[in-house]
Structure 1
Amino acid sequence: MDEQTATEAMDNFTAIWNTYTLEGEVVHWLACSLYAACRKGSTPTVGKGLMEGNCVSLTRILRSSKLSLIQFFSKMRKWADMSNLSQDFRLRMDRLERNFEVSTVIFRKFEPIFMDMFQNPQGAEPPRQPRSRKHRRLPCHISDVFKFCWTLFVYTKGLPPLYRADGHVSSDEPPPCVLERLCELHDGLVVEAKGIKQHYFKPYIQKLFQKQILKGHEELLTEMLDPQNFIDNNKAINREYEEYVLTVGDFDERVFLGADADEEIGTPRKIIQEMTTSQTAAQSQLQQHVEKSGSLAPSTPLTGRVYLKEKDLLVTPVSSATQSVGRLQSMVAGLRTAPSDHLMQIFKSCSRDPTESILARVKTLGQTFKEHYTNDSDDTPGAHIEILYYKILENVIVQETKRLHGRDMSVLLEQDIFHCSLMACCLEVVLFSY
């Protein structure tokens, strides 16, 4: 990354940090500032003038900051508002997010279609290279074919219009094609699929052959997966796609292929697994049993019913209150009506020690409550209120200290409305439990 972009990103981040309260991880907001600064710049090219952006990969920024794509889009919208970014940049981000949503849907459809043609890519490991002096190319593994097909698709769909057909369509009889069968299996439109293949996808592949990016039979557009061609084709397509991603500034759609795809995307996706023969037989037997008996329980004396809870538990106001009190008792077990040692250390670390004011405030509010409710006793709800108050106060202060990276908590702890509101919430919890 060039020094000018890094300096601009840091200056913008510092200005926003001093103006707004940034929630969450600081490095995530720094990634947003970095991406915005990268897309503002331009890079000189050989014979092409200037290129928008500085060729910094969005995927590398997100991986380095451990920020998922979905979180990135959410935080980037907030960053655009705080930084007052241009409308063109906002439109570009909207288009980027729409592309991501479309690609997510396409990839989910791509997996079952691929498994109708090939084996499950989640299956066996690829074969290891033999340890011999003479290097021999091995046939491509099914997982390599899966990644190659997806990368070829995401690269060709992003190519400019000049790669499309020029109106000339060969009158020769087309070779056998599985498009019609795949459309029947996956609710596709045969006419539309064949039109896209003939007028868009086929010209794309022909241009890639002409530019010697792909190797194989140039007339039939075959032999791309043959051992003598596949390794070079795979490297070439990945290299061309990486160049395209850096040039356009789009997200790398190969993120769906990685082992950490769920974390990098931000939402879990279901992995389609191929069922074995034994699993298929077991599912068939279970289906027959359910149809006959109408129950999932096996028809044997040892059904284990004694270990299951009753379907309709008898719920009464007394039992409900007992459960609530039990949960409350477990929350305050082992604690006392005073700040813990850890909380006292936090109070003393503040520039102005709020211990006396907090203790006095709690005593006053507690006394006001007891005067209107009941007499003082260790078994009354009043004691639980104070214990719960100190417990929650400690949790809040600890979390705020982590979020603000050790800033002084004196201002927060001196806010009377904060303590009164927290005490009122604890009061509501305890009274509801009883």
Structure 2
Amino acid sequence: MFPSAVRPTSTRRSQELVKQEAMGEENVHEDEAYERFQELCSDLNLDSVTKENTWKTFTTVRSKYTLEGDIAHWLCCAVYVACRQASVPSVNSPTVHGNYVNLTRLLRTSRLSLTEFFDKSRKWGDMTNLNQEFRSKIERLERNFAVTTCIFKKFDPIFAGLFKDFSRRELEENRANRKKLSPKSASDLFEFCWTLFLCVKSSLRISDDLVNSYHLLLSCSDLIFYNVAHAGRKNLLTAQFAESAENLVDSVGEPICIIHKLCDLYDGISVEAKTIKEFWLKPKIRSMIEQGTLKGDSEALTGLIDESVFEHNSKRLEKEYEEFVLTEGDFDERMYLSELRQADFGVDQVDTQLDYLRQSMGLKAFPPLQELKHLMPQTPLTGKKYVSEKEDNLSSPISNATQTVSRLQALLSNRRPEPSPALLELLNSCSRNPVQSIHDRLQKYGQLFCQGYSLKYDNQPGLHSEFAQFRSQIGQTLYYRLLESILTAESKLRVDNSELTDLMEEENFHVSLLACSLEIVLFSYNSQRRFPWILETFKLPGYHFYKVVEVIIRAEENLCRDVVKHLSQVEEKVLEELAWKIDSPFWVALAKKNEAIPSCEEVLLPSQIEKMGGDSQAGNGESAPKRYAVIKTPSGEKCVPVAVGGTNQSTLIIQDKTSSQILGVVLPSKHGDKPKKGNSTALFLRKFYHLSYVRLQDLCKNLCVDDELLRKIWTCFQNAIVNHVEELMKSRHLDQILMCCVYVVAKVVGNEKTFTEIMRCYRLQPQSASHIYRSVPLTKEDERGDLIKFYNTIFIGRMQKYALKFSTKTDEGNNVPLSPVPHLKATPLSPCRKVSNKHSVFLRPLRAPKTPSPSKQLRYNFNRSPNSNLKAINAMVQIADNKPKVVKRLLGDDGPVADPIPSKVFARRLQEFIEDRQILE
């Protein structure tokens, strides 16, 4: 018998009653939702077409999905999307994209914070299958929010340091009560300066550019200071800056400027801020004065805060900014001026959650999570062991970003976008001098870069040409620096210059080196143009580009930590997706060679394969230099098998056909395996297999999958790549295939993991993105579906027969030969940490890895403990200092970790460029 609460309904009458009750409840919810929707439409004054489209989309989504939480929040997303997709008549043009939706008002009416809006919008985009253009719009809004939040938190202390008696409470009271605007106090100037900053920032289209936005803020603060000094209002200035306002001109007759002082105090870079001031802020202010938006002296840029014009200037700035917000559909950044509105929009939401943690750790500041997420690069899974530790883990995004720019500037100090004397000497040593061809190539691609940077891209507004020129000049300077570093390292190791000459005539190498240099610049300056934009601009395949990344990192030791992390992400992006695009040269190279995809065991070296018992491939094998003799063989070689040492083992001698010169020797391994494949395809797959296993291992760890099942999944994945690479990988993503392999093998062995569980664990990985499993290509005509549909329609048809071999219900279940897995080297980071850049004082954990522990705790209290205690601590720490130091590097090198010489990597990449050129010709 069933309990009464769960007893099934047995009669038609009771079934109809249940159905009527459900329909009645649904109608109630429908009426409530429609009533909330009408309120939104009325408040925003939406046109009938937009209203109809919004409600139609909302009801369709609601019939397919359960919309949890306040229904008004989902209606808010539906209204915003419909308004941004609408086209309305305009006075200046036939139609305007967007319905002038006031996002701030929409959120306030819906009682939805901005932080929650971003989360809901992403989910709404997934449910309605929104195009990438609109998803990019939401991502830029979120990044803009993070940037502006971060900058405003720096604006408070800047103004408090500039102006005395500055009070945010007074600012709130003034906004609520005043009838006429006047610069009576620092609070009035605070609001004026912030609105001026927003107007200029919006016109320059740098809303989500952290570095430039911050330096623009410092420039605006300097401009207000100069106007205060010129107006004789030194009584408003703090003692620290009042002295600077004594004279209106400096020693050389130039108007006084405090940018250098502000940068020293508040983590700025004076060169950057002065460039922003001279080339972007001043021209914009002059233009606004000439057009009548502002009143003041257009030559000296003074008189902006005079009593007679202050109200006019304030109101015109407000109006211009409001027009931008309505046109672009952005949130109103003036909300930061009101602490109450900040709370409504969720600006301090994360700070509140972290406040207890911050206090318990004794910290003065703790950057909010949304800032760290969107403004600081995550370390990819393959890069965690190979980047140095942060000197200050709690630095703000602004100090972190400005430090990255400062490191780049230091790297390029006293250099120009031209070859140095040392580089010219290296280039002159080539058989055919490449200096002119290099110059011409940089001119050509420099123009391409500037044109692309200034044009509208991916629904992003075009950026000013001055920004493009500035970035291009720095990128070309870095190109020459990197080229010199690479050639200097090689010149120390090579006797003849034939390979050097070949490299200098290799187009793909130079374009890739320039593209990578510009990508470093774009990343360092936190530019809106994000990878792979540079590849698309240069029409450079990722398959060619990735080859130069590791060469650069190994040749240039002074790249900062975040740049190395970013380049690791870039390399992973190519390996996981870009190299598998339908138009990738990888497919051409594969077809020309007319051979199957090699397995992991065929491309990895013995030292890179995990030992698996007596028949392991992890023997000593041939040395790395002898392996590269195969790779470096020119096209005119012949292989002569000979007997060595009176044994029956054959050794291949690589010999030039014309000169009979012996170019290299390949010895067999102890187990008689064939030489590892060393062509460019195999070398690419070596990195690809390594990346694949690192991600699979992490995924299985989070899914609590044991090692035996992990190896079965890996074997299935390798079978998919070797036998079905075109059907499964072309135009798709590595992570899609990995997740399907996890699901199918776990299912057939009886340890089933649902796709929900798999995707939940996948989202923990740093490179994860929802579109990877929500939008998977199903056909070459770009039909798309979610990961489950791909699994059912494409994947299982190719892999079902093989996957069933792992089933315990078949005779083969426990007898399927498992593929060897890559050996992951553990390279611990140095436990030492520098206390300050200004002092050579280091901290080391008491129980550092492989460091002997003292028999008792060692303590030293400054001004209290005897010197002998400090000597004992130093003696213990110094024990580990004799160990080899860890060298920063990327994965994929075959030599020891401590080997700093990049020649092997260089030779391998050079051969890849040359070999691919021969294949594609």
Q: TM over 0.5, yes or no?
A: yes
The alpha-carbon distance between structure 1 residues 173 and 157, as it changes in their structure 2 partners (threshold 3 A), is: farther
Q: In the alignment, is the contact (CA less than 8 A) between 2:166 and 2:185 conserved in 1?
A: no
How far 1:66 moved relative to its partner?
A: 0.9
Distance in 2 (alpha carbons) for counterparts of 1:227 and 1:128:
20
Distance in 1 (alpha carbons) for counterparts of 2:291 and 2:138:
32
The structure whose RCO (Cα within 8 Å, separation 6+) is larger is 1
Q: Who is 1:109 aligned against?
A: 154
Q: Who is 1:53 aligned against?
A: 98
Distance in 1 (alpha carbons) for counterparts of 2:347 and 2:272:
33
Does 2:287 align with 1:207?
yes
Distance in 2 (alpha carbons) for counterparts of 1:265 and 1:223:
37
Distance in 2 (alpha carbons) for counterparts of 1:19 and 1:76:
17
Distance in 2 (alpha carbons) for counterparts of 1:136 and 1:50:
38
Q: In the alignment, is the contact (CA less than 8 A) between 1:126 and 1:141 conserved in 2?
A: no
Please give the residue correspondences for 1:227-306 in structure 2 after superposition, counting only pairs within 5 Å. 227-258=307-338, 259-268=340-349
Q: In the alignment, is the contact (CA less than 8 A) between 1:121 and 1:146 conserved in 2?
A: no
Q: In the alignment, is the contact (CA less than 8 A) between 2:77 and 2:124 conserved in 1?
A: yes
Q: Secondary structure at the match of 1:51?
A: strand
How far 1:265 moved relative to its partner?
A: 2.6
The alpha-carbon distance between structure 1 residues 245 and 191, as it changes in their structure 2 partners (threshold 3 A), is: same
Which residue among 70, 82, 87 is the counterpart of 2:127? 82
Paired residue type of 1:255: M
Q: Who is 2:12 aligned against?
A: none
How far 1:8 moved relative to its partner?
A: 1.1
The alpha-carbon distance between structure 1 residues 215 and 255, as it changes in their structure 2 partners (threshold 3 A), is: same
Which residue among 249, 255, 263 is the counterpart of 1:183? 263
Q: In the alignment, is the contact (CA less than 8 A) between 1:214 and 1:233 conserved in 2?
A: yes
The alpha-carbon distance between structure 1 residues 260 and 77, as it changes in their structure 2 partners (threshold 3 A), is: same
Q: In the alignment, is the contact (CA less than 8 A) between 1:140 and 1:230 conserved in 2?
A: no
How far 1:25 moved relative to its partner?
A: 0.5
Q: In the alignment, is the contact (CA less than 8 A) between 2:183 and 2:189 conserved in 1?
A: no
Q: Secondary structure at the match of 2:305?
A: coil
Distance in 1 (alpha carbons) for counterparts of 2:175 and 2:137:
42
Q: In the alignment, is the contact (CA less than 8 A) between 1:71 and 1:266 conserved in 2?
A: no
Please give the residue correspondences for 1:352-391 in structure 2 after superposition, counting only pairs within 5 Å. none
Q: Secondary structure at the match of 2:310?
A: helix
Q: In the alignment, is the contact (CA less than 8 A) between 1:32 and 1:75 conserved in 2?
A: yes
Please give the residue correspondences for 1:325-404 in structure 2 after superposition, counting only pairs within 5 Å. none
Paired residue type of 2:93: K
Deviation string, structure 1 residues 11-55 (Cα, Å, up to 9, x no partner): 111111121111111000000000000000112222323211011
The count of corresponding residues between Structure 1 and Structure 2 is 257
The alpha-carbon distance between structure 1 residues 128 and 196, as it changes in their structure 2 partners (threshold 3 A), is: closer
Q: In the alignment, is the contact (CA less than 8 A) between 2:182 and 2:310 conserved in 1?
A: no
The alpha-carbon distance between structure 1 residues 128 and 12, as it changes in their structure 2 partners (threshold 3 A), is: closer
Does 2:160 align with 1:120?
no
What is the TM-score with the length of structure 1 in the denominator?
0.56
Distance in 2 (alpha carbons) for counterparts of 1:27 and 1:105:
29
Q: Who is 1:193 aligned against?
A: 273
The alpha-carbon distance between structure 1 residues 127 and 64, as it changes in their structure 2 partners (threshold 3 A), is: closer
How far 1:139 moved relative to its partner?
A: 4.0
Paired residue type of 1:67: L
Q: Who is 1:283 aligned against?
A: none
The alpha-carbon distance between structure 1 residues 264 and 222, as it changes in their structure 2 partners (threshold 3 A), is: same
Q: Secondary structure at the match of 1:158?
A: helix
Deviation string, structure 1 residues 238-262 (Cα, Å, up to 9, x no partner): 1000001111112211121123212
Q: Secondary structure at the match of 1:101?
A: helix
Deviation string, structure 1 residues 172-213 (Cα, Å, up to 9, x no partner): 953001111111111211111111100111111111111110
Q: Who is 1:362 aligned against?
A: none
How far 1:158 moved relative to its partner?
A: 1.4
Deviation string, structure 1 residues 113-132 (Cα, Å, up to 9, x no partner): 111112323144449989xx
Q: In the alignment, is the contact (CA less than 8 A) between 1:127 and 1:141 conserved in 2?
A: no
Q: In the alignment, is the contact (CA less than 8 A) between 1:38 and 1:53 conserved in 2?
A: yes
Does 2:89 align with 1:44?
yes
Q: Secondary structure at the match of 1:208?
A: helix
Which residue among 34, 51, 65 is the counterpart of 2:110? 65
Q: In the alignment, is the contact (CA less than 8 A) between 2:61 and 2:127 conserved in 1?
A: yes
Deviation string, structure 1 residues 357-393 (Cα, Å, up to 9, x no partner): xxxxxxxxxxxxxxxxxxxxxxxxxxxxxxxxxxxxx
Q: Secondary structure at the match of 2:88?
A: strand
Q: Secondary structure at the match of 1:145?
A: helix
Distance in 2 (alpha carbons) for counterparts of 1:210 and 1:156:
15
Q: In the alignment, is the contact (CA less than 8 A) between 1:137 and 1:228 conserved in 2?
A: no
Q: Secondary structure at the match of 1:85?
A: coil
Distance in 2 (alpha carbons) for counterparts of 1:127 and 1:83:
41
Distance in 2 (alpha carbons) for counterparts of 1:216 and 1:129:
27
How far 1:138 moved relative to its partner?
A: 4.9
Aligned-CA RMSD value = 2.5
Q: In the alignment, is the contact (CA less than 8 A) between 2:74 and 2:120 conserved in 1?
A: yes
Q: In the alignment, is the contact (CA less than 8 A) between 1:28 and 1:65 conserved in 2?
A: yes
Paired residue type of 1:76: S
Q: In the alignment, is the contact (CA less than 8 A) between 2:285 and 2:298 conserved in 1?
A: no
Deviation string, structure 1 residues 273-318 (Cα, Å, up to 9, x no partner): xxxxxxxxxxxxxxxxxxxxxxxxxxxxxxxxxxxxxxxxxxxxxx
Does 2:152 align with 1:152?
no
Which residue among 28, 31, 34 is the counterpart of 2:79? 34
How far 1:270 moved relative to its partner?
A: 7.4
Deviation string, structure 1 residues 400-420 (Cα, Å, up to 9, x no partner): xxxxxxxxxxxxxxxxxxxxx
Paired residue type of 1:39: R
Distance in 1 (alpha carbons) for counterparts of 2:133 and 2:182:
48
Q: In the alignment, is the contact (CA less than 8 A) between 1:56 and 1:246 conserved in 2?
A: yes
Q: Secondary structure at the match of 1:260?
A: helix
The alpha-carbon distance between structure 1 residues 123 and 54, as it changes in their structure 2 partners (threshold 3 A), is: closer
Distance in 2 (alpha carbons) for counterparts of 1:127 and 1:110:
19
Which residue among 57, 63, 81 is the counterpart of 1:12? 57
The alpha-carbon distance between structure 1 residues 138 and 234, as it changes in their structure 2 partners (threshold 3 A), is: closer
Distance in 2 (alpha carbons) for counterparts of 1:253 and 1:179:
24
Q: Percent identity, please.
A: 44
Q: Who is 1:314 aligned against?
A: none
Distance in 2 (alpha carbons) for counterparts of 1:92 and 1:80:
11
How far 1:154 moved relative to its partner?
A: 1.4
